[in-house]
């Protein structure tokens, strides 16, 4: 099944203490590029997040947005700046000596001086948070993949329909091929008769056969038709593969286009030239579609 490179998925995890939201957006890109935006406190989990996304999304530009809201009672502790407290105490004693006043500072007073006591929130170990975060991320990936597969199915139907059309156009070229030689021989014979009529001579059949054979060899595109059919068959098979096939399909389309150009140059026929124009139009539409395939 084909997968589009475009999609969006959202996942979340909720309990009494946390509400985690993961949103993942993917668009076309030649390679696999993952950009993660999340709180700085989750920095140590970035590698796990990246590997989780990369295990499911093989190609495309991926933007992941992660938010974490924490509820419930937060763990707090009070931290004492001992050196600063001692410095305040010594400063007060020195000031009392200078002013010739009794030192009246107490522990209570020193504790109220700026920065002596600090209330610090104790955060949960982010590694303990990973299972909850992974739940949100995996849900987002799952929803993203559903969208990519749905769009991929639509692209697959369109591509197979265009391949069927190409097969019909190639069949029309094959039907036309024998007639090219017949028409060339008739035109050649007509020109020779006109030239020889003035001198009362008859056409040289052996010479006529020789020229026709040379033309037939020069305009023979049987090998190109065989290869073109093979490429179309390979394309059809690849489209139904469960793997990431975007780059392979792009290569096959290049080969289809090359064989088509060779047929057009060899045929030297206006009817086939018109058919080739239709083929190249379909090839271009196919190329546009596969740019969005993983």
The answer on 134 and 174 residing in a single domain is: no
The answer on 268 and 174 residing in a single domain is: yes
Q: What is the pLDDT of residue 203?
A: 54
pLDDT digits (tens, 9 = 90+) for 280-290: 999 999 999 99
Q: Does the pLDDT at position 36 exceed 80?
A: yes
Q: What is the pLDDT of residue 7?
A: 93
pLDDT digits (tens, 9 = 90+) for 223-280: 888 999 999 999 999 988 878 898 899 999 999 999 999 888 877 788 888 999 999 9
Model confidence band, residue 9 (pLDDT cutoffs 50, 70, 90):
very high
Which is more confident, 121 or 52? Answer: 52
Q: What is the pLDDT of residue 72?
A: 63
Q: Does the pLDDT at position 124 exceed 70?
A: no
Q: Does the pLDDT at position 32 exceed 80?
A: yes
The average confidence (pLDDT) of the chain is 84
The answer on 269 and 215 residing in a single domain is: yes
The answer on 189 and 133 residing in a single domain is: no
For residue 105, being part of any structural domain is answered with yes
Q: Does the pLDDT at position 78 exceed 80?
A: no
Q: Does the pLDDT at position 77 exceed 80?
A: no
For residue 120, being part of any structural domain is answered with no
For residue 97, being part of any structural domain is answered with yes
CATH at residue 27: 3.30.230.70
Q: 114: which DSSP letter?
A: T
Which is more confident, 223 or 96? Answer: 223
Residue 3 is encoded by which pair of tokens? 């997968």
Residue 68: its H or E element: strand 60-70
Q: What is the pLDDT of residue 165?
A: 95
The answer on 177 and 54 residing in a single domain is: no
The answer on 269 and 142 residing in a single domain is: no
Average pLDDT value for residue range 2-13: 93
Q: Does the pLDDT at position 204 exceed 90?
A: no
The answer on 55 and 176 residing in a single domain is: no
Q: What is the pLDDT of residue 81?
A: 79
For residue 1, being part of any structural domain is answered with no
CA-CA distance, 286 to 256, in Å (whole number)?
11
Strand partners, 57: none
Q: Does the pLDDT at position 25 exceed 60?
A: yes
Q: What is the pLDDT of residue 79?
A: 79
Q: What Rg do the C-alpha atoms of the chain give, in angstroms?
A: 39
CA-CA distance, 110 to 31, in Å (whole number)?
61
Q: Provide, rounded to the nearest whole percent, the portion of the chain with pLDDT above 70.
A: 82
The answer on 197 and 183 residing in a single domain is: yes
Q: What is the pLDDT of residue 202?
A: 59
The answer on 163 and 143 residing in a single domain is: no
Average pLDDT value for residue range 152-160: 93
The answer on 214 and 155 residing in a single domain is: yes
Average pLDDT value for residue range 109-118: 76
For residue 174, being part of any structural domain is answered with yes
Q: What total of structural domains would you count in the chain?
A: 3
Residue 52's alpha-carbon distances to 27, 142, 149, 183, 251, in angstroms, are 18, 12, 19, 64, 29
For residue 164, being part of any structural domain is answered with yes
For residue 207, being part of any structural domain is answered with yes
Dihedrals phi, psi of 171, to nearest 5 degrees: -60, -35
The answer on 153 and 282 residing in a single domain is: yes
Q: What is the pLDDT of residue 248?
A: 92
Whether residue 162 contacts residue 282, with contact meaning beta carbons closer than 8 Å, is answered with yes
The answer on 185 and 95 residing in a single domain is: no
For residue 280, being part of any structural domain is answered with yes
The range of the structural domain enclosing residue 263 comes to: 149-290
Report the range out of 14-18, 105-109, 134-138, 201-205 with the highest average pLDDT.
134-138
pLDDT digits (tens, 9 = 90+) for 170-184: 999 988 887 776 666
Residue 189 is encoded by which pair of tokens? 């014979």
């Amino acid at each position: 099944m084909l997968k589009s490179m475009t999609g969006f998925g959202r996942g979340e995890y909720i309990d009494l203490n946390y509400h985690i939201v993961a949103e993942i957006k993917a668009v076309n890109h030649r390679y696999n590029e993952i950009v993660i935006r999340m709180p700085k406190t989750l920095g140590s989990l970035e590698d796990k997040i990246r590997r989780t996304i990369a295990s499911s999304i093989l190609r495309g530009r991926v933007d992941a947005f992660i938010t974490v809201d924490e509820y419930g009672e937060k763990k707090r502790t009070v931290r004492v700046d001992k050196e600063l407290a001692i410095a305040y105490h010594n400063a007060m004693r020195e000031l009392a000596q200078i002013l010739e006043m009794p030192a009246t500072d107490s522990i209570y007073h020193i504790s109220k001086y700026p920065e002596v006591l600090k209330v610090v929130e104790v955060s949960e170990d982010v590694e303990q948070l990973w299972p909850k975060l992974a739940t949100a991320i995996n849900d987002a990936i799952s929803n993203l993949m559903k969208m990519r597969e749905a769009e991929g199915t639509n692209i697959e139907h369109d591509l197979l329909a265009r391949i069927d059309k190409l097969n019909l156009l190639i069949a029309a070229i094959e039907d036309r091929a024998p007639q090219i030689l017949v028409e060339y021989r008739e035109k050649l014979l007509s020109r020779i008769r006109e030239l020889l009529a003035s001198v009362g001579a008859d056409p040289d059949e052996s010479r006529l056969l020789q020229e026709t054979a040379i033309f037939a060899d020069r305009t023979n595109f049987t090998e190109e038709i065989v290869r073109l059919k093979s490429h179309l068959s390979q394309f059809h098979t690849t489209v139904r593969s469960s793997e990431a096939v975007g780059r392979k399909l792009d290569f096959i389309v290049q080969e289809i286009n090359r064989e088509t150009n060779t047929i057009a140059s060899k045929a030297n026929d206006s009817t086939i030239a018109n058919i080739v124009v239709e083929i190249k139009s379909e090839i271009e539409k196919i190329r546009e579609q596969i740019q969005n395939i993983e």
